[in-house]
Structure 1
Amino acid sequence: MPLYRDEAIVLRTHKLGEADRIITLLTRHHGRVRAVAKGVRRTTSRFGSRLEPFTHVDLQLAEGRNLDTITQAETLTPFQSEIALDYDRYTAGTVMLETAERLAAEEREPSLQQFLLLVGGLRAMASGQRTPSQVLDSYLLRSLAVAGYAPSFEHCARCGLEGPHRWFNSSMGGVLCATCRVPGSAAPAAETLVLLGALLAGDWPTVEAAEPRHLKEASGLVAAYLHWHLERALRSIEYVER
């Protein structure tokens, strides 16, 4: 079987037989990959904790007809050692992993930007320097933008008229002017829309200066926007404090 090497973030694992696991990975060069780690559930496994969710690993894999097989694994960054120690970081990080898996829907479709974005997001989450919910909201907006669903927070998403605008609608792609407003549109505070733009751009001074009520409102809009474009809710997002 042909061998190849790649970097990856472990997104998810589930049991296979008595001692094996199927590992879902987001790789740097091969997109989303599902691979078998043989014997990994045995206490004598040479892989140990290297193939747990959140781990940034360097892998050697053997190509298979349906599933590849992991033949070597070396830890590059053990993000799980920091993220798993804090409930808020862990739940927010889990949403990031599930989002990355959903947005990389096609197996073996290269997605370097999504990979780099996830590595950066997990690094920020593990550092503990920023509030987990803020890191999560910024990651969600950026990952959706990379996937082609960039929201508009300044120009009307329908006609392009320069804002600021009052209305926001997930199905329309962002803010709407009074002329383009459709039924069911939300009317968030102007400060919330500025905050959403800052989260998308990574403008952390603006994010950190925001009031709690605007942060909460922004989180709700991010979750609604994510739900609309993924077409169904994430299982993990209900556990996140928002």
Structure 2
Amino acid sequence: RLELRALEDVNVRADTPPAWLRERIAASLTGLAAYPDGRAARAAVAARHGVPAERVLLTAGAAEAFVLLARALPARRPVVVHPQFTEPEAALRDAGHAVDRVLLREADGFRLDPAVVPEDADLVVVGNPTNPTSVLHPAAALAGLARPGRTLVVDEAFMDAVPGERETLAGRTDVPGLVVLRSLTKTWGLAGLRIGYVLAAPETVAALERAQPLWPVSTPALVAAQA
């Protein structure tokens, strides 16, 4: 299980960024007169996962990504796998979607059986590792949820706390409809800075980017992502 501290409603591993990261963020403040330029941070994330930059979208935390997905992607039957962070379902409902739930059983250790996800679900959201149960689902089981015409959203906000990031799907380009969400706020104590990113097919990234406001990620957050 992940070792996390609860700061009000925030699950983080530390209550402040490390000194070297605070120094990088502080140094960025001299550049606040210019609009944010996310190209270097986007390239850094792409290099981190071995994907082209057009498969990366930087967001104001993973929470913004949930809203973008709910507003920008068509979905006739979205399904959220629970237990799960509440924001993905809330964002879908706020965008007018009727959301179905797949409830994993405590008796099964909250393990996912892909067969319980309805075949006609065209948007599936699942956390890995899952908040709040800390269950780490096998990557193969999650990849098995992919279908033609289905968007598979895997919330990996806590994956960088897993040794070796085993079972991650980040960087996979062979899974159709895959969207991986990452947060940089948990491990690095940056919840107040709001920085995360999406990894997806270029056409999905483009659709989400069109739904974003201009300059959604601040210069300090971009510097933190690059660092």
TM-score, reference length from structure 1: 0.24
Higher Rg of the two aligned structures: 1
